[in-house]
Structure 1
Amino acid sequence: MIVLLPPSETKRDGGVRGSTLDWSQLSFPELTERRQSVAVRLTELTGDSDAARRALGLSVKQQFEVERNRSFKTAPVMPALERYTGVLFDGLDAGSMTPSERSFAHETVVVHSALFGPVGAGDPIPAYRLSHNTRLPGLTLKSHWRRSVTEALRAVEGLQLDLRSEAYAQLGAASPNSVYLRIVTEGPEGKRVALSHFNKKSKGVFSRALISSGINHSTVESLIAWSRGAGFQLEHGATGELDLVVPHVGV
């Protein structure tokens, strides 16, 4: 089983002292050339700070994000699960994981980065700024990544629980063994509505519970059965989807 997560715009600073990016240490080594191509274009973009901020949707006060991109190849690295911040990753709370939980997360969690493609939770990466829809010089991320990421994910055996946003799913499809997780709530008449505000938090909390359980589920039915005992309402949704039903208030 792998749990496929989206990245976040925000990243934690710092890393292991004296460390730098080593392409060979990243999961899915078949993506190395594609990763390096994006890195070259991203570095090229940083040559013009104004153009870089426009492309990345940044304000002048966020110039530090451009500086991150300018030096990411020589910046210190840390595990991807610790690098990303934000609502989803706050719910995961990697800092409080036990050694066994961390080990299980490194075996099962994959984060889909716009810069690196899918990376393992334990892969050492630097801080950077790049979104799925950023326009790089001479390169469109969707067309650049889609085929190669799809092939890489389809080569991974076992159940894949896809928690990515639709935007990141367009950068590469999960395998035929995947199931897409939707966060929904039930209205007064029982109609299910997709959540937006609490979507990321619920994904983070659910993923942390999966990691803490240490169970490597091989089937959707196993996952659903576990969820009941873990206090979640996880049910079959549309074809190829699971609905995680959460209350509208107090999530």
Structure 2
Amino acid sequence: MLILLPPSEGKTPATGGDAADWTALSFPALNSARAKVLDALGTVSAHEDALALLRVGASLSADVERNTRLHAEPAAPAHQVYSGVLYDALGYSTLTAAQRKKADESVLVISALWGAIGFADRVPAYRLSMGTALPDVGRLASFWKPLLDDALAAATEGHLLVDCRSSTYAAAWAPPAERTVAVNVFTEAGGVRKVVSHFAKHTRGELARHLLSRRGKAPQTPAQLRQAAAEKWAAELVEGTARKPHTLNIILPS
């Protein structure tokens, strides 16, 4: 089982230590593409209209300025740098040592800057969304899609893929549909379901934590994933097709 996560919008910068060692990152075949994105990001971030080009507000000016020196910025494991609702709910720091090891081996983060990284990979904090277009790179989801198809094929072969990404990051890579389960979250009241956003992030984080911390073997099939989710929530599985992944619907009380 592998768990696919989006990065968080907010990131926690490392307070000290060495810069990222690119040769140590997972999926080294992506390094040339990572360098191209990093160079384009640095150029855009140094522009006088950087905030507008990156579609962020003035409160994030320090984050954008940091983009200009990412080669030298201190790095920390991805599970520390990424923060926010989903990652708080996953609660990596409160997992046991064995569970953290499992997380390091099982969680992949699909990233606008790095393409894909492992949970223990050391990276600096940065500001870049998958929905952004960069000079000489273009729309990042389109840029990464063929590269991730090649880079992740062998690493994900034979694994059940639990897809907890948002739609923006799901656009960057479509894993094999027969082995992928996308996670949706709804509230239900009076027989009427509503899609939720904030609680979807929280619940996906909780699901990731549950899968990493529960006893027994990790789910190997979509049906086993539904059974695991049903240990905590009302859950249903919608079968996929040759092109469309399965869907795990978690239904929260209103």
- TM-score normalized by structure 1? 0.91
Match of 1:178 among 166, 177, 180: 180
Query: Could you tell me how far apart the structure 2 residues matched to 1:18 and 1:185 are?
Result: 43
Contact 1:150 1:175 in 2 (8 A): no
- Describe how 1:218-233 pairs up with structure 2 within 5 A: 218-228=220-230, 230-233=231-234
- Describe how 1:83-102 pairs up with structure 2 within 5 A: 83-102=81-100
Query: Could you tell me how far apart the structure 2 residues matched to 1:26 and 1:234 are?
Result: 35
The equivalent of 2:205 in structure 1 is 204
- Tell me the secondary structure at the aligned position of residue 75 of structure 1: coil
Query: Could you tell me how far apart the structure 2 residues matched to 1:152 and 1:187 are?
Result: 43
The equivalent of 1:71 in structure 2 is 69
Query: Could you tell me how far apart the structure 2 residues matched to 1:244 and 1:61 are?
Result: 35
Match of 2:78 among 72, 80, 100: 80
- For 2:213, the aligned partner's letter is S
The equivalent of 1:108 in structure 2 is 106
- Describe how 1:1-251 pairs up with structure 2 within 5 A: 1-15=1-15, 17-48=16-47, 50-140=48-138, 141-155=140-154, 156-157=156-157, 158-176=159-177, 177-189=179-191, 191-213=192-214, 215-228=217-230, 230-237=231-238, 239=240, 240-248=246-254
Contact 1:53 1:59 in 2 (8 A): yes
Deviations 1:20-62 (A, max 9, x none): 11111111222111111101111111221x3211122223332
Query: Could you tell me how far apart the structure 1 residues matched to 2:70 and 2:134 are?
Result: 16
Contact 2:5 2:164 in 1 (8 A): yes
- Tell me the secondary structure at the aligned position of residue 184 of structure 1: strand
| More deviation, 96-105/121-130 | 96-105
**Number of residue pairs matched by the alignment:** 244
| Cα distance, 1:100 vs structure 2 | 1.2
Gaps of 5+ in 2: 241-245
Percent identity between matched residues is 35
- For 1:243, the aligned partner's letter is N
Query: Could you tell me how far apart the structure 2 residues matched to 1:217 and 1:129 are?
Result: 34
- TM-score normalized by structure 2? 0.90
The equivalent of 2:243 in structure 1 is none
Contact 1:162 1:174 in 2 (8 A): no
Query: Could you tell me how far apart the structure 1 residues matched to 2:213 and 2:21 are?
Result: 29
Contact 1:163 1:203 in 2 (8 A): yes
For the aligned residue pairs, the C-alpha RMSD in angstroms reads 1.7
